[in-house]
Chains A and B, each alone.
Chain A
Amino acid sequence: MAHLVHYPEAHPFVFRFTHWVNLICMLLLILSGIEIHYPVVPYLMGVARGVHMFCAFVILINLIFRIVAAGFIKSAPAYGTRETKLDMYTFFPQKDNRHQLWPWIKYYLFFKKEHPLGGKYGVPQKLSYLLIAVAILFMGYTGFCLWAPTMNIPFFAGFTTLVGGLMKVRVIHYFMMFFFICFTLIHIYLANIEGIDPTKVMLLGTKPHGGLTYSLETRNISGYDPMDEEIIVMEDKVVLEKD
């Protein structure tokens, strides 16, 4: 029973909403992108392009909203606590995560037996979320380099020339899609491999199982919150753990 409780405070409604927008847009962008790249399904190009551009604008606005909202909305900066702070602190360097990058890598590569302590997002996880924000912006930028209404604006045309023409931009945009696909694969894998609770909280906001609590002061495990789990379940687990 090494899980921290996944209190919904970690993912307040607004950020669950932006995550849903991300998820849906990304799915549609990938599907429509594949269709634009090569029209696998006939008679759908117009729809695919419409969907692609619509979702492109939505995901970019969503991203900007997500970033701005981080400065106004509070969330729990770690699992296992109901205390909240402005959400942006989750994305700044946290004392909870200091010196933890290497232990995380070792843990994922099975060179470390124990689960590293940390804030809501472990170091590699946090880096990947920051990277995904940059990647979405960059994807939008290359997209507008390819989009006829904007391709001749110097801000975009300059990049096209820099990399060597629209064909290169297209190749970059295309490769970037696989970057997103790979990110999403890793992301879904890591979010669920140690239990489905984080996904339930993130996508549905459901009430979590009981688990360990975490103190923002000691930055360590501080106890156990059974939530309203039946004692018998706990008993079971405790017995199992003791074995």
Chain B
Amino acid sequence: MQDSFIESLESRGLTRRAFLGFCGTIAAAIGIEGVTAADVAEAIESNSLIGTNGGLGEGALAPVIWMELGSCTGCTESFAQADNPDPATLILEYLALNYAETLSAAAGYSLEEAREETIEAAKGKYVVVIEGAVMTRYDGEILRIAGAPTCAPHESHLLHTCKDAAVVIAAGSCAVDGGFCAAYPNPGDAEGIQKYLKDNGVSTPVVNLPSCPVNPANLVAVIVQYLLLGPESVVAGLNEFNMPAAMYGETIHDNCERRGHFENGEFVYEFGSEEEAKGYCLYALGCKGPQTKANCPQVRWNRRVSWCVASGAPCIGCCNGDPRTTVRNWIDVDSPFLGRLKTLRLGDIAFQPTPVALGVTGLLTAALVVHGIGMKATGRTKGGAPFEKEREWDVKHGKKEPSTVPVVEEQVVVDFEEGK
């Protein structure tokens, strides 16, 4: 690393050591053998505005446009921690974050100009980060940005911006599957960016990085992988949900630090209990770790300080949305957050699986009891009713006479009388 780069880092409150440590996390998140922390550091430095490639503009091989749609700004928030800079934030700035409604110093026309310039100057090379859901209700009028609806069909600056990007990164679950905006009953017809682009004929590859908010380390990892190995490498590593398989391939549960307690059957049944103080497993509180695939336990959050389960909160499965549709929204899939199974819906009727299953079983038991009383009353409990003489159908269709065979009771009597 060049001195000027290190100096710049230090002037922003980040030591060389901390920076390299972060690069190690990034390398791990990329999850490709042979990609080391040093490679990551090199990629960031050589593509940064103040790195080896020199001054502003030139070095920015991959400018980033960050667009905020229907969101709570939590994803931006998880990056930008003003009084204690996060390496991820800094790195994103170094990589030329040319447009970000919340983070950019500029605003209004000049910022919109910057976006246009970036698109023109770096056609096919820039990266778009989407935060928040595409709000499609009322032809997109439900959310206007820069004087126009965000997502009018076929014509919107969202489509315009994404069309010529090298890659679109859906940062956080709202951008992936609509997130909280798209939760039942989804009043704003929110959807993920992948679906919106596909429905409107834009074929730029989308990389989905769910979680609520996005994990900054994963976001930077994708950008760095793009810089290091190109868009093909990023796309090749995606699973069927367009999520990097290396990051969303294993369940939280399989890498959870409380897993030992799970196996031992040591559970927290109630918040504020003794078990909670002992750090037991949160399964009984509805932890969705067993059915959620993400690298939270390995990459952790907030500079590896902690993550949900470590901090005592059951995983709520915030990575579980399906970006290809609006009907498998992660909140719908995982709520109630503190329940073991999801709430099911038939139209507008919501119900929990357990009461329904128990109800059906109870009704059945009652029906069997009633039936049993009927069987008893009709005298069928001691060997059943007497057999029919012939099958009904055969008799009705003239195949057989009802009494071709000796009548059963009589035969018994006959046998008996013959002294058998």
Any B CB within 8 A of the CB of A12: no
Q: Does A37 contact B (CB under 8 A)?
A: yes
From A47, A189, A195, A238, B368 is in contact (CB under 8 Å) with: A189
- Interface residues as binary, A177-212 with B (CB distance below 8 Å gives 1, 0 otherwise): 110011001100100011100000000000000011
A45 to nearest B CB, angstroms? 4
Cβ–Cβ contact A103 & B388, under 8 A: yes
- Closest Cβ–Cβ distance, residue A166 to chain B (whole Å): 3
In the assembled complex, the CB of B108 is this many whole angstroms from the nearest CB of chain A, namely 42
A116 x B283 contact (CB < 8 A): no
- The interface stretch among B133-141, B149-157, B218-226, B264-272 is B264-272
Q: Would you call B341 and A170 a contact (CB within 8 A)?
A: yes
Bound together, the chains give a CA A100 to CA B387 distance in angstroms of 13
Contact status of A115 and B384, CB under 8 A, knowing A161-B240, A165-B328, A171-B342: yes
List B contacts of A61 (CB < 8 A).
Answer: none
Q: Which residues between 1 and 39 of chain A lie within 8 Å of chain B, taking CB atoms?
A: 1-3, 37-39
Q: Does A46 contact B (CB under 8 A)?
A: yes
Q: In chain B, what residue has the closest Cβ to A113? A: B385
Q: B residues within 8 A CB of A235? A: 416
Residues on A with C-beta less than 8 A from B83 are none
Q: Taking CB as reference atom, which chain A residue is nearest B286? A: A38
Asked whether, in the complex, the Cβ of B317 is within 8 Å of the Cβ of A167, the reply is yes
Within residues 105 to 127 of chain A, which ones have a CB less than 8 A from any CB in chain B?
Answer: 107-108, 110, 112-117
CB of A195 within 8 A of CB of B412, answer: no
Identify the closest chain A residue to B364 (Cβ). A182
> Is B57 at the interface (CB under 8 A from chain A)?
no
Q: Do the beta carbons of A181 and B391 come within 8 Å of each other?
A: no
A44 touches B385 (CB 8 A): no
Which residues in B have their C-beta under 8 angstroms from that of A103? 388, 391-393
Q: How far is the CB of A93 from chain B (nearest CB, A)?
A: 14
B306 CB, nearest partner CB in chain A, Å: 24
A135 is an interface residue with CB less than 8 A from chain B: no
Binds B, one of A52-60, A65-73, A84-92, A216-224: A216-224
| A residues near B388, Cβ cutoff 8 Å | 103, 114-117
A128 to chain B, nearest CB (A): 13
Question: Given A42-B265, A45-B265, A186-B368, A171 and B390 touching (CB < 8 A)?
Answer: no
Q: How far is the CA of A39 from the CA of B254 in the complex (A)?
A: 18
A20 to B69, CA, bound (A): 60
Considering only residues 386-417 of chain B, those with a C-beta below 8 Å from chain A are: 386-394, 404-405, 408-409, 411-413, 415-416
Measured in the bound complex, the distance between the Cα atoms of B368 and A99 in whole Å is 26
- CB distance B386 to A178 under 8 Å? no
Q: Are A46 and B372 touching (Cβ within 8 A)?
A: no
Q: Which of chain A's residues have a CB closer than 8 A to the CB of B265?
A: 39, 41-48
Tell which of A45, A46, A168, A211 has the most Cβ of chain B within 10 Å: A45
| A residues less than 8 Å from B394 (CB atoms) | 99
Report chain A residues within 8 Å CB of B264: 43, 45-46
In the complex the two chains form, is A178's CB within 8 Å of B360's CB? Answer: yes
CA distance A206 to B206 in the complex (A): 68
The answer to whether A212 and B263 touch (CB under 8 A), given A99-B393, A178-B357, is no
In the docked arrangement, what's the CA distance between A47 and B265, Å? Answer: 9
User: From B415, which residue of chain A is reached at the shortest CB distance?
Assistant: A224
CA of A92 to CA of B371 in the docked complex: distance in angstroms? 29
- CB of B320 within 8 A of CB of A167, answer yes
Among B25-33, B71-79, B375-383, the stretch in contact with A: B375-383
Residues on A with beta carbons closer than 8 Å to the beta carbon of B344: 171
Cβ-neighbour of B387 out of A47, A48, A115 (below 8 A): A115
Which chain B residues border A107 with CB–CB below 8 Å? 385
* A98-B393, A100-B391, A234-B416 known; A165-B353 Cβ under 8 A: no
Contact flag A194-B341 (CB < 8 Å), given A45-B262, A167-B288: no
A171 touches B353 (CB 8 A): yes
CA distance A47 to B262 in the complex (A): 11
A115 touches B249 (CB 8 A): no
Query: Which B residues are CB-close (under 8 A) to A110?
Result: 374, 378
* CA–CA, A46 and B357, complex, Å: 26
Tell me the bound Cα distance from A195 to B385 in angstroms. 11
Interface residue A226 (Cβ < 8 Å from any Cβ of B):
yes
On whether the beta carbons of A174 and B353 are closer than 8 Å, the reply is yes
- A115-B388, A195-B381, A238-B413 in contact; A42/B341 too (CB < 8 A)? no
Is the CB–CB distance between A166 and B291 below 8 Å? yes
B409 near A241 with CB under 8 A, answer yes
For A166, list chain B residues within 8 Å (CB). 290-292, 320
The complex places the Cα of A128 from the Cα of B147 at a distance, in Å, of 64
CB proximity of B281 to chain A, nearest CB, Å: 8
- Chain A's closest residue to B393 (CB) is A99
Which of B291, B317, B353, B383 has the most chain A CB atoms closer than 10 A to its own CB? B383
The answer to whether A99 touches B392 (Cβ under 8 A) is yes
Known contacts A115-B387, A220-B390, A221-B387; A194 and B381 CB within 8 A of each other: yes
Question: Which chain A residues border B333 with CB–CB below 8 Å?
Answer: 164-165, 167-168
Complex A-B: 6 CB contacts under 8 Å: A45-B264, A99-B392, A100-B393, A167-B291, A182-B364, A238-B416
The 8 closest A-B CB pairs, nearest first, are A166-B291, A99-B393, A45-B265, A114-B388, A3-B383, A194-B384, A43-B265, A178-B357
Which B residues are closer than 8 A to A by beta carbons?
240, 249, 251, 253-254, 262-267, 283-284, 288, 290-292, 317, 320, 322, 327-328, 333-334, 340-342, 344, 353, 357-358, 360-361, 364-365, 368, 371-372, 374-375, 378, 380-394, 404-405, 408-409, 411-413, 415-416, 420
Chain A residues with CB under 8 Å of chain B are 1-3, 37-39, 41-49, 98-100, 102-103, 107-108, 110, 112-117, 146, 148, 151-152, 161, 164-171, 174-175, 177-178, 181-182, 185-186, 189, 193-195, 211-212, 218, 220-224, 226, 234-235, 238, 241-242
Q: Besides A116-B388, A165-B322, A221-B387, 11 other CB < 8 A contacts?
A: A37-B340, A43-B264, A43-B265, A114-B388, A116-B391, A164-B327, A193-B375, A220-B390, A220-B405, A223-B415, A241-B412
